[in-house]
Every structure is written in C-alpha cells, then in structure tokens.
C-alpha cells in the first residue's frame, strides 16, 4: 500500500506548464530551479525522449492535493521518507529514544526529590 504522501504528483501551483518539474522537485526535495535546468540541459544535449516523456507524465500524473502537507516541516519529513526510508526510520527511532531518556530523567528527578511520590509509586508496583 502506497501512502498518498509518498506518491509522485505534478505540482500545478508551483509549476510553469504542467507542473512536472515542480512535482519532481517536491518528490525529491531538490530545488525546482535545478530540476528545470537539468531538464533544459538534457533537451539541449539532444535527449529526444525528454519532451514526449514530460508531456506523458503531465497528462497521466495526478495533480497534487492542496491538503497533502500541513507545514514545511511535514513536507521535509515526507521528502526524507521518500529518499531514504531506512534512514528516516533510524532518525525517528533515535528521537523516541531521546524522548524516553528525557522522560526517565524527569521521572527520576521528581521521584528522588519527592519521597511521598516515591512511596506512592512503589505502592502501585
């Protein structure tokens, strides 16, 4: 099952013609200027398949839904998921370990400085 946040969409809002280059930029996280320059460069180098491929993708790719991302941070997260899911999983796991460590520090601080709370917790165990 493919999440709608990991699919390729053409981006008509930020696009010039069909929004294919803007969609590639959104999908990969590369600046749209570099994607457009690469496309023009490939056309200039004589890659004849680029123009028809652009139009085929422009006709068949779905348009990017406006509700896809709530903010820039979420967009960057999903771009990193598309680029390297394993690395993103490690980063999320590391964040949870850090949160767990900080919560344990808070818990030990409050338990060691509050004997009544410490006794209450021990009774519950």
State the 10-residue block means of pLDDT for the chain, 125 residues long: 66 77 82 87 84 83 74 75 74 89 83 74 83
| 43 and 1 housed in the same domain | yes
| 70 and 106 housed in the same domain | no
Residues 84-109: tens digit of each pLDDT: 777 777 888 888 999 999 998 888 77
Number of compact structural domains in the chain: 2
What residues make up the domain containing 121? 84-125
| 27 and 78 housed in the same domain | yes
SS (H, E, C) the chain: CCCCCCCCCECCCCCCCCCHHHHHHHHHCCCHHHHHHHHHHHHHCCCCCHHHHHHHHHHHCCECCCCCCCCHHHHHHHHHHHHCHHHHHHHHHHHHHHHHHHHHHHHHHHHHHCHHHHHHHHHHC
């Amino acid at each position: 099952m493919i999440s709608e946040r990991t699919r390729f969409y053409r981006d008509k809002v930020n696009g010039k013609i069909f929004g294919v280059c803007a969609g590639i930029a959104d999908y990969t996280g590369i600046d749209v200027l570099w994607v457009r320059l690469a496309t023009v460069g490939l056309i200039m180098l004589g890659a004849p398949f680029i123009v028809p491929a652009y139009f085929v993708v422009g006709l068949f790719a779905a348009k990017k839904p406006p509700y896809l991302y709530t903010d820039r941070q979420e967009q960057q997260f999903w771009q990193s998921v598309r680029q390297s899911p394993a690395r993103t999983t490690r980063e999320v796991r590391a964040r949870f370990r850090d949160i767990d460590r900080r919560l344990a520090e808070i818990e030990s601080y409050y338990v060691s400085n509050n004997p009544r709370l410490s006794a209450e917790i021990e009774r519950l165990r």
